[in-house]
Amino acid sequence: MAITLDDFPITQHWQPRNPELLQLYSYPTPNGVKVSIALEELGVPYDAHTVPLNQTTTPAFLSLNPNNKIPAIIDPDGPNGKPFGLWESGAILIYLAEKHGSLLPSDPARRLETLQWLMFQMGGVGPMFGQYGFFGVFAGKEIEDPRPRERYVNESRRLLGVLEQRLADGRDWIMGDEYTIADIAIFPWVRGAKIFYKAEEAFEMAARPNVMAWLDRCIARPASERGLVQPPRE
């Protein structure tokens, strides 16, 4: 019997508006908008479902992503033409780029270099910026011990310094003149730190002119303008 979207329990709670389209389950956080921006860049039609963060531990969402994090997708035209569910934003970006032949260089060396910078976000920028958000802005700010905040501020500054050096010498994008999933993965976190964490001063962003100019270029892309507000907040 052929697999259909009905075989994914999550579709009973967040019902597809168009079952022929890729189904995106997400929320407009730095991790969440990576996928919507990539879909917009690729010109792939999709059905965006808003998953409030307090619903990621529900049985419906856990049936697709047992790690209870957004974003997640179901592609009705996945590998071998069968519906395919996938979670982890970095894995989704690689999947979409490879499937649609864009946003990831075809040259083997440049492809690996792009993935290197994707992992820089997944293992560094995201976790460090996120921990700063917790200890510097949200519930963790009530902790009197200053060491967690100092740790994540200093590491976030260091990571921005690495990115600043990469974007030197007139690079428009992380891979030079080619916009890739590396840019899409990283820029929402820098934007989020600036807008939501109000971390411009803490992260010494004024001392990173290459990063800030690159951020402006990323945000100004039409696909970014559309993807940054998908799915809409409730």
Q: Which residues touch 145 (CB under 8 Å, ≥6 apart)?
A: none
Asked if 206 and 200 count as a contact pair (C-beta separation under 8 A), the reply is: yes
Give the integer Cα–Cα distance in Å for 224 and 73. 19
- The domain locations on the chain are 5-102, 108-224
Collapsing DSSP to helix, strand or coil, 88 comes out as coil
Give the integer Cα–Cα distance in Å for 62 and 80. 25
pTM: 0.96
Q: pLDDT tens digits for 147-198?
A: 989 999 999 999 999 999 999 989 999 999 999 999 999 999 999 999 999 9
Q: pLDDT tens digits for 2-14?
A: 789 999 999 999 9
pLDDT of residue 169: 87
Q: pLDDT tens digits for 74-110?
A: 999 999 999 999 999 999 999 999 999 999 999 999 9
pLDDT of residue 102: 98
DSSP for 14-57 reads S--SSTTSEEEEE-SSHHHHHHHHHHHHHT--EEEEE--GGGTT
Domain 5-102, CATH 3.30.428.10 — does that match? no
Tokens of 94: 């690689």
Is residue 111 pLDDT above 80, yes or no?
Answer: yes
Is residue 137 pLDDT above 90, yes or no?
Answer: no
pLDDT of residue 1: 61
Collapsing DSSP to helix, strand or coil, 180 comes out as coil
pLDDT of residue 145: 86
Give the integer Cα–Cα distance in Å for 9 and 203. 42
Tokens of 11: 């579709």
What's the burial of 35, exposed, middle or buried (CB within 10 Å: 0-12/13-18/19+)? buried
Query: Can 5-102 and 108-224 be said to share one CATH topology?
Result: no
Just give the CATH number of 108-224: 1.20.1050.10
Is residue 138 pLDDT above 90, yes or no?
Answer: no
Give the integer Cα–Cα distance in Å for 106 and 3. 31
pLDDT of residue 2: 76
Strands 22-26 and 46-50: parallel
Across all residues in the chain, what is the average pLDDT?
96
pLDDT of residue 45: 98
Q: What is the mean pLDDT of residues 57-79?
A: 98
Collapsing DSSP to helix, strand or coil, 73 comes out as strand
Half-sphere exposure (Cβ direction) of 1: Cα atoms closer than 13 Å: 4
71 prior amide bond cis, ω within 30:
yes
